[in-house]
Chain A
Amino acid sequence: MFKQIMIPLVSLALASSCYAAKNKNSSSIQIKGSDTMVNLVQSWAEKYMEKNPSDFIAVTGGGSGTGLSSLISGTCDIAMSSRNIKEKEIALAKPKGIVPFELQVGLDGLAVVVNPSNPVDKLTLGQLSGIFTGKIGNWKEVGGHDLEIVLLSREVNSGTHVYFKEHVIRKNDPANKDEFSPKALMLSSSQAIADEVASNPGAIGYYGMGYISLKHKPVSIAANEKSEYAAPIIENVLNGKYPISRPLFLYTKGEPSGPVKKFVDFALSKEGQEIVLATDFVPVSK
């Protein structure tokens, strides 16, 4: 009985102490969060580790909410987030002695995409809101074929989902209580949305600009009927013509220090910002 319990306990204790020791000597940084940012941060991490071979950086996705909740519960050092931290999350971090520190590291234009066979190539934010709340259910209402609209959304753990809800469906109006239509299909990754849009003539979905490919057609978007329609390209995000772009953040526990600071400094350096551009995001203008 004693032996049976002790062996796993001892090995567990050994394993965890090894892990802790490893954490202390060579610096290892755990980064977690936004799926949109995984590729970008992974590229940073690779370049960074090339320059600093003694440091180890692990990057995992899961969604902005996942990253922030790990930061709060102490299981990661840096959270990637494609949305601002919520008041509620700051309040939850406080009792644990964690003050999340925000750094904007880039911008992302959110592309709304349809199947290439769909004749619709431009929409206003109002039409988009109508489509995603389910008030507009057929493509012919916005100038397309007589075809039912299939809504594709990310899961609720996605910063993209939250951003889209607040800035497109609710049109930036905090008093607006509109929600995604319950009929919207919730897919677990941007790639799943990309695949479904490529194969379904009635589908409409949204994802980070980096995912645009020839198999999907990005829609030009105007803030309202009077303003100019803008395509989701880097130039339009930078000059502010494209109405749905969002900041990308890294959150650290308190002001960054030690290896974490070294890494975020690298991300914000000229070289780091070139990687931002190379991964189809928009660098923070300096």
Chain B
Amino acid sequence: MRKIKETIIEKLILASGLASIFFVVLIFLFLIKEGLAVFQSVTPGAFLFGKSWYPISEPAQLGILPLILGSLLVTLGAAVISIPIGVGAAIYIAEIAPARIKDILKSGIELLAAIPSVVLGFIGMVTLVPLVKSLFHLPTGLTALSGSIMLAFMAMPTIVSIAEDALYSIPKNYKEGALALGATHWQAIWRVMLPAASSGILAAIMLGIGRVIGETMAVMMITGNAAVIPQSILVPVRTLTATIAAEMGEAVVGSEHYFALFAVGIVLFVISFGINVTADLFLHEKQSK
């Protein structure tokens, strides 16, 4: 009887495990099926490198270069802001902070992760956007920079908690050895701990960036959504995610615009898949050491 129970539970768990892979494959097949249809009306080159996005004009202009660049610019900005702060916070929490402060900081960061993105977007819209506008004397504060700052807040919890784990899981004797050889605390962190945890920290960064590039609601609210090729970080941009979210409702099922949005989805899928695979590679490198 017990054995039967064991087997059933085992099979159930196996089924749940397979289900998640099955769903990913189904989602990808569906994306491909719907997305590739757009290439009947536009060549892949014109789609990826076209500079104008006017999906509802006659004839429609479906060039997503401004959207790709918009997404990349916002993500890059968020990375530049969140990586130093996030890794710094992780080092402080793992190595320097006294136990009490460590607990407070850790729960604080978990709280940050719990804020829904639409709330962050809303807060950004009423506080950050006017600030960016007056600080840089811009015609409008709805810019890539505002998006980057807000998204940095979203990437930070992921980066801090995974990087902190990576630092924490380094064998104690690494640090003790460094200190015994006469290194200062900072030298031990910089020369020994960080290199030892580097693959875990890189994975943390990649996962943080993965979250940023897929984020939709907050960027849609604060980046202005103008489909123009950005010349600087102080101009409005339109991201891939915001385009899908804003336009999917309009697109009539089976129309060129509808297929184009699915193709945008494929591009997004490929980008985040690439980021996750890279993160995975770093994590595995750490394990094989």
Contacts and interface: CB of A to CB of B under 8 A. Distances in A.
Which of B130, B246, B250, B254 is packed against the most chain A CB atoms within 10 Å? B250
A184 B226 contact: yes
B103 interface: no
Interface in B227-250: 227-228, 235-236, 238, 246-247, 249-250
Interface in B1-38: 11-12, 15-16
A203 B129 CA distance: 14
B247 A156 contact: yes
A243 interface: no
A196 B126 CA distance: 10
A190 to B, nearest CB: 14
A4 B14 CA distance: 12
**Would you call the interface of chain B mostly helix, strand, loop, or mixed?**
loop
B15 A157 contact: no
B54 interface: yes
Interface string A38-49: 000000000000
Contacts of B281: none
Contact of A196 (B54, B140, B255): B140
A72 B252 contact: yes
B247 to A, nearest CB: 6
B288 interface: no
A253 to B, nearest CB: 15
B287 interface: no
A183 B220 contact: no
Contacts of A156: 55-56, 246-247, 250
A120 to B, nearest CB: 16
Interface in B129-143: 130, 133, 139-140, 142
B92 to A, nearest CB: 38
B255 A92 contact: yes
A186 interface: yes
Contact of B66 (A162, A182, A188): A182
A1 interface: yes
A73 B90 CA distance: 50
Contacts of A188: 220-221, 225, 246
Given A4-B12, A162-B56, A179-B57, A88 B226 contact: no
Contact of A150 (B139, B220, B238, B252): B139
Contacts of B253: 69, 72-73, 92
Contacts of B225: 155, 185-188
B52 interface: yes
**Would you call the interface of chain A mostly helix, strand, loop, or mixed?**
mixed
B224 interface: yes
A65 interface: yes
B85 interface: no
B255 A62 contact: no
A183 B226 contact: yes
A186 B246 contact: yes
A89 B252 contact: yes
Which of B66, B130, B226, B254 is packed against the most chain A CB atoms within 10 Å? B226
A127 interface: no
Contacts of B133: 200
A185 B247 contact: no
A177 B220 CA distance: 27
Contacts of B250: 63, 65-66, 69, 155-157
A106 interface: no
A233 to B, nearest CB: 29
Interface string A148-178: 1110000111000010000000000000010
Contact of A182 (B11, B140, B226): B226
A100 interface: no
Nearest to A70: B249
Interface string A62-89: 1101101100110000000000000011
Given A92-B253, A147-B139, A199-B130, 9 more contacts: A68-B252, A69-B249, A73-B253, A156-B246, A177-B57, A179-B54, A182-B66, A185-B142, A187-B225
Interface of A: 1, 4, 62-63, 65-66, 68-69, 72-73, 88-89, 92, 147-150, 155-157, 162, 177, 179, 182-188, 196, 199-200, 202-203
Interface of B: 11-12, 15-16, 52-57, 66, 130, 133, 139-140, 142, 220-221, 224-228, 235-236, 238, 246-247, 249-255
